[in-house]
Amino acid sequence: AEDDSHWQPQVFSPPPMARDESIRVCVRCTPGRSQAPSVKLSGRTLELTRPKTTLTKKFDFHQELCPPSSGHVVDGFLSPAIRSAVSAGEHVAAMSFGAPKTGKTTTMGEATRTAVSDVFAAVEGQHFADRMVTVSALMSAITPPAQSHMTGRQVCHEVLLDALLPHGGDAAYRGGLHVREHPRTGFFVEGLTTVCVASEAEALEYVQHAMTNFELEKQRCGGGGGAPLRVHTLVTFKVWRRKADGSEVVSEVQLLDLAGWQRAGGSTGGTSKAASSAEKALKGKVGAAPGAAVFEDLVIKAIMRVCDSLEQKMSHIPYRDSKLTRLLCNALGGRGSCLCALHVGLDSFEETEAMLQFGKRVSAIRNSVSPNSINYGALQAR
């Protein structure tokens, strides 16, 4: 028998304690037409009043509500949380959702540029043996309806495109990138361009290039032919930091700008038809103009299902219903923190109420946030 008197059992350090945290929601209200419903902010409570009536509904989001300014949303809500998460080695996602022409794209553009400064400020303030920062950007395009060979129905498809590469024309929508799953690291986009940046200026250069491609793609929306109907954008920063003992701390920052939902059929507020269109909009039904064909936005519909399943604490969460929801699994009910900037357009009472109800459901989702630390020595010993 071998002499094992010198053998000592391998001791693994316990994982860091996770904290229970709800998704933080910030509401930004944009004034609408003259007969729009009125909104009153009172601390953490938002009061919505129907025009020409005394009907009032109150919504409590458990967070301070920001004034209607993109600068307040970024500097007072998104930026501090992103810097804190990167410093702690955690995953954080910021998503902008709401009606069109409410400033959500402007808010997320400012947040993306500010996130570059926040990431490098958090990294430079710490002492590690080695570090690396990467940038990637992708677009989730919803293609025009096409007849399915299996069912014969008109269906839309979600296609992922690399935003750091030159535009490939309509042929790019025939394939797109695929989301794969690694047994240890989770979901990732196969073939997505990931650039290692050494400075803040270099990162801003790639971010600006991606945002230019975002705008070009959004301008093509609804142009007919093979042009997409809607485009959702996602910018991701990853930070690897290696300690002296060989363990790594990995932080990930995701900035998601969801395309604004629109009323199906272009109805106006104040009637039951508006309430019906609002309900359809929040379920992913989108119509660009009166009389236009209504199609399903697969991404928004999948996010709604994921949020509803998490709120109801169901055993199965349908992350695989969309490619974007797979990539957002850490932010929605996972081990990362999530920030939602909800942009509400005060065009009708029913639609505004539906959007605020969605924000209230999102704020009820709980995440178990913990640092992402990998000890390769312990993994090999196991």
Place of tokens 């005394």: 54
Q: Is 377 helix (H, G, I), strand (E, B) or coil?
A: helix
49 belongs to an annotated ligand binding site: no
40 belongs to an annotated ligand binding site: no
- Beta strand pairing call for 130-142 and 158-162: antiparallel
101 belongs to an annotated ligand binding site: yes
Q: Is 65 helix (H, G, I), strand (E, B) or coil?
A: coil
Report how far residue 371's alpha carbon sits from residue 199's, in angstroms, rounded to the nearest whole number: 24
pTM, full prediction: 0.83
For the chain, which residues make up each domain, given as ranges? 74-346+355-381
98 belongs to an annotated ligand binding site: yes
* Per-residue tens of pLDDT for the chain, all 382 residues: 444 444 333 333 445 567 888 898 888 877 766 566 777 777 677 888 887 777 888 888 766 666 556 567 787 788 889 999 998 889 999 999 888 888 888 889 999 999 999 999 888 867 776 889 999 999 998 888 777 777 777 778 888 999 998 765 544 555 688 999 988 778 999 989 999 999 999 999 999 999 999 998 888 876 666 677 889 999 999 998 887 777 788 899 999 999 876 554 443 333 334 334 444 445 555 544 444 445 578 898 999 999 999 988 899 999 999 999 999 999 999 999 999 988 887 777 787 888 888 888 898 899 999 888 776 555 455 5
100 belongs to an annotated ligand binding site: yes
102 belongs to an annotated ligand binding site: yes
Phi and psi dihedrals of 89, rounded to 5?
A: 75, 35
Which tokens in the block code for residue 242?
């290696």
Q: Is 96 helix (H, G, I), strand (E, B) or coil?
A: strand
176 belongs to an annotated ligand binding site: no
54 belongs to an annotated ligand binding site: no
261's torsion region: left (phi>0), alpha (psi -120 to 50) or beta?
Answer: beta
Report how far residue 270's alpha carbon sits from residue 275's, in angstroms, rounded to the nearest whole number: 8
- Which option is the CATH number for 74-346+355-381: 3.40.50.150, 3.40.50.300, 3.40.850.10, 3.30.160.150? 3.40.850.10
